[in-house]
Every structure is written in structure tokens, then in C-alpha cells.
């Protein structure tokens, strides 16, 4: 399985022309580019190798839900992946596991692929890795409750991005050995509980070209969810080159 790199642009850049130029520069295989909603169509049109991703979705196909975007709308634009449950949405918009679970089910129902974000805050992690695992297990169990138990699923349908919340935007990253242990734990849990075989786990805690190799060199870590570094073309291309060494 090739390493997967997801470029999460968040609320950036400000102008469509900049977004299109950046997309062209990092348009490589095994990359998913997730621009803001207003830029999805234009970015999708210039991609030849990378896949188009969205940063969020709503769980209904239509209705009186002002400001929301449905899975079918995204699919019609050529979106292939959807990020769900990012820690910033959990924090700033108070997204609950119940809401996230509905989104996961809705996205899978229309044939799109899920990138589900899970991860613990520092208040949990400072208690140790066992506490972090327990926290992540609870998230996974609730966020994936819409999956029929005992039904074998394609591993590529659901990708898990493990993002220790305390590492995001702080400039400090997790210890690679502990990320590997968490990745193993998540894969075992997905296999035993949801019968997802060979699941894909990304690391998403302050990734850049200086530290990404420390994580993706391990076979248990299948790629990275990249934030700020994905907005710098040269930086992200370096991450792509490093990732290719471990495919």
C-alpha cells in the first residue's frame, strides 16, 4: 500500500488564483488535496494525478440546513475523499461524536471515502499512552457506529488520521514509537470490532518535511495529514519526495 498524503488547506488561501496555482504545483499521485469549499470545483478541474478532497460535509442529502453541503453535492463536483471529525471542528464548532458518526455513514452511503480524525488532548495524554488509547477507542466506537458490525469493508473506504490534539499547531510532535503503537492499536481495534482489514492510518500532528520521515518510515503508519506545510509548494513537494522513499 502506497503512503497517502492529505493536504488540508483549512481556511487558506484567500484567493482562488493562488489555490489553483498551488494545486498544480503539488498535483502528484498518492496525494489528496482538500481546499476550502469555494475552491473545490476550480481545483478539481486542474488535477491530473491527485485526488480531490473536502474538509467537511453534512449528513443529509438535502433540506433546510443553511450553509451546509451534502455528500451528493461533493460527489457531483468530483470529490473522492472527505475529512470528518477534525479536531478544530470538534473544538470550535462543538462537533460531537454523534454528529461525526452521521457524517461518516452519509459519506460512505454515496460511495465517497472517509478520512476520520481522532486523537486525544493533552489532559488525557499526560496520563499516559493507555489513557490515550482508551480515549481514541471511544471516539472510534462512536464515530463508526453506523458501520454494520461483522460486515467486511474495503480498507480504503475508511482512513483514520491520528492527530494528537496537543501536537497540532504547537510545533511539537508525538514520539514516533508511540505513534506506531497507537497505529497498531487502531488497526487491531478496527479489525476486531468493525472487520476492517488492512486499514490505513495517517499521522496528523504538526507534520513537515523535517519530521515526516520519522513517522512514515514505519510500515504501521500509512501516510500523513498535513496542514500548514501543505500550503508551501516546495515544502509539500519535499514531503512527497520523502514519502516516496517508503512506498
pLDDT tens figures, 187-206: 999 988 888 888 899 999 88
- Predicted local confidence at residue 63, as pLDDT: 97
Q: Which domains does the chain have, with CATH numbers?
A: 4-244 (3.20.20.70)
Give the DSSP letter string of 61-74: SSSS-TT---HHHH
pLDDT tens figures, 10-54: 999 999 999 999 999 999 999 999 999 999 999 999 999 999 999
Query: Would you say 56 and 104 are in contact if contact means Cβ atoms under 8 Å apart?
Result: no
Q: Is residue 182 very low, low, confident or very high in pLDDT (cuts 50, 70, 90)?
A: very high
**Strand pairing partners for 159?**
115, 200
pLDDT tens figures, 87-98: 999 999 999 999
Q: Number of helices and strands (H, E) in the chain? A: 10, 8
Query: Would you say 232 and 238 are in contact if contact means Cβ atoms under 8 Å apart?
Result: no
Query: Which segments of the chain are extended strands (E)?
Result: 4-8, 31-34, 51-54, 81-84, 113-118, 158-162, 200-203, 223-226
Q: So which residues are the catalytic ones?
A: 86, 163
Question: Strand, helix or coil at 128?
Answer: coil
Residue with cell 488520521: 161
Question: Strand, helix or coil at 67?
Answer: coil
Task: Average the pLDDT over 150-168 and give the result.
Answer: 77
Interatomic CA distance for residues 143 and 140, integer angstroms = 5
Task: Average the pLDDT over 69-83 and give the result.
Answer: 98
Interatomic CA distance for residues 78 and 138, integer angstroms = 32
Q: Is the pLDDT score of 243 beyond 70?
A: yes
Please say whether the dihedral angle defined by the alpha carbons of residues 155, 163, 212 and 176, taken in this order, is positive or negative: negative
Q: For all residues of the chain together, what is the average pLDDT?
A: 93
Residue with cell 472487520: 195
- Predicted local confidence at residue 155, as pLDDT: 53
Residue of 163, 155, 71 whose CA lies nearest to 117? 163
- Predicted local confidence at residue 194, as pLDDT: 85
- Predicted local confidence at residue 245, as pLDDT: 95
DSSP state of 50: S
Interatomic CA distance for residues 141 and 39, integer angstroms = 33
CB atoms within 10 A of CB 149: 9
Q: Is the pLDDT score of 247 beyond 90?
A: no
pLDDT tens figures, 205-226: 889 999 999 999 999 999 999 9
Amino acid at each position: 500500500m502506497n503512503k497517502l498524503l492529505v493536504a488540508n488547506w483549512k481556511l487558506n488561501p484567500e484567493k482562488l488564483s493562488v489555490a489553483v496555482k498551488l494545486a498544480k504545483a503539488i498535483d502528484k499521485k498518492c496525494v489528496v488535496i482538500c481546499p476550502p469549499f469555494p475552491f473545490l470545483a476550480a481545483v478539481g478541474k486542474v488535477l491530473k494525478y491527485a485526488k480531490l478532497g473536502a474538509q467537511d460535509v453534512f449528513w443529509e442529502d438535502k433540506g433546510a440546513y443553511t450553509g451546509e453541503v451534502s455528500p451528493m453535492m461533493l460527489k457531483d463536483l468530483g470529490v473522492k475523499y472527505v475529512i470528518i471529525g477534525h479536531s478544530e471542528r470538534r473544538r470550535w464548532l462543538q462537533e460531537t461524536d454523534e454528529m461525526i458518526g452521521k457524517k461518516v455513514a452519509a459519506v460512505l452511503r454515496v460511495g465517497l471515502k472517509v478520512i476520520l480524525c481522532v486523537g486525544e488532548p493533552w489532559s488525557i495524554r499526560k496520563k499516559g499512552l493507555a489513557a490515550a488509547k482508551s480515549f481514541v477507542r471511544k471516539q472510534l466506537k462512536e464515530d463508526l457506529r453506523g458501520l454494520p458490525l461483522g460486515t467486511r469493508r474495503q480498507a480504503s473506504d475508511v482512513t483514520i488520521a491520528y492527530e494528537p490534539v496537543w501536537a497540532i499547531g504547537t510545533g511539537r510532535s508525538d514520539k514516533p514509537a508511540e505513534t506506531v503503537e497507537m497505529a497498531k492499536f487502531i488497526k487491531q481495534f478496527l479489525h476486531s470490532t468493525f472487520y476492517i482489514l488492512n486499514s490505513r492510518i495517517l499521522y496528523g500532528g504538526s507534520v513537515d518535511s523535517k519530521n515526516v520521515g520519522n513517522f512514515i518510515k514505519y510500515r504501521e503508519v500509512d501516510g500523513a495529514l498535513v496542514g500548514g506545510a501543505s500550503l508551501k509548494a516546495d515544502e509539500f513537494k519535499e514531503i512527497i519526495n520523502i514519502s516516496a522513499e517508503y512506498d
